[in-house]
């Protein structure tokens, strides 16, 4: 089943969305409860909990998307390297082939 957050963010199909929402929920609980235990002000603690949710969710979202982009770049480089290895294997352009002076 698909779960849409705010009506447009499909948590199941968007990369990093599920983890961001889960970490945001934990972050809001920690920040709100911590502020409540420190000050005993309910309304202000709820405001801090909402802010904690937003900050934690966005922070983890950007961190996860950055790592996902790096992983995709590394995968693309490995794929290109494997293609070039197959393409140049045994030819004079093969970097692993020993170069001699008479070629």
pLDDT digits (tens, 9 = 90+) for 67-85: 999 999 999 999 988 887 7
Cβ density class 9-45: b for 16+ within 10 Å, e for less: eeeeeeebbeebbebbeebbeebbeebbeeeeeeeeb
Range of the domain at 51: 15-89
CA distance 84 to 52: 48
The answer to whether residue 98 is domain-embedded is: no
Total structural domains in the chain? Answer: 1
What's the token pair of residue 82? 């494997």
Q: Is residue 64 part of a domain?
A: yes
Collect the ranges in the chain with pLDDT lower than 70: 1-9, 95, 97-103
Percent of the chain with pLDDT over 70: 82
Asked whether residue 58 is assigned to any structural domain, the reply reads yes
Residues 26 and 57 sit within 8 Å (Cβ to Cβ): no
Residue 63 lies in a domain: yes
Longest pairwise C-alpha distance within the chain: 85
């Amino acid at each position: 089943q698909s779960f849409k957050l705010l009506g447009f963010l499909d948590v199941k199909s968007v990369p990093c969305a599920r983890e961001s929402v889960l970490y945001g929920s934990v972050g809001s609980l920690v920040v709100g409860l911590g502020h409540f235990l420190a000050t005993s002000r309910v309304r202000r603690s709820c405001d801090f909990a909402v802010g904690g949710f937003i900050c934690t969710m966005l922070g983890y979202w950007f961190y996860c998307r950055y790592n996902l982009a790096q992983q995709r770049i590394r995968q693309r480089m490995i794929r290109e390297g494997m293609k070039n290895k197959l393409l140049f294997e045994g030819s004079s352009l093969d970097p692993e082939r020993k170069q001699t002076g008479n070629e």
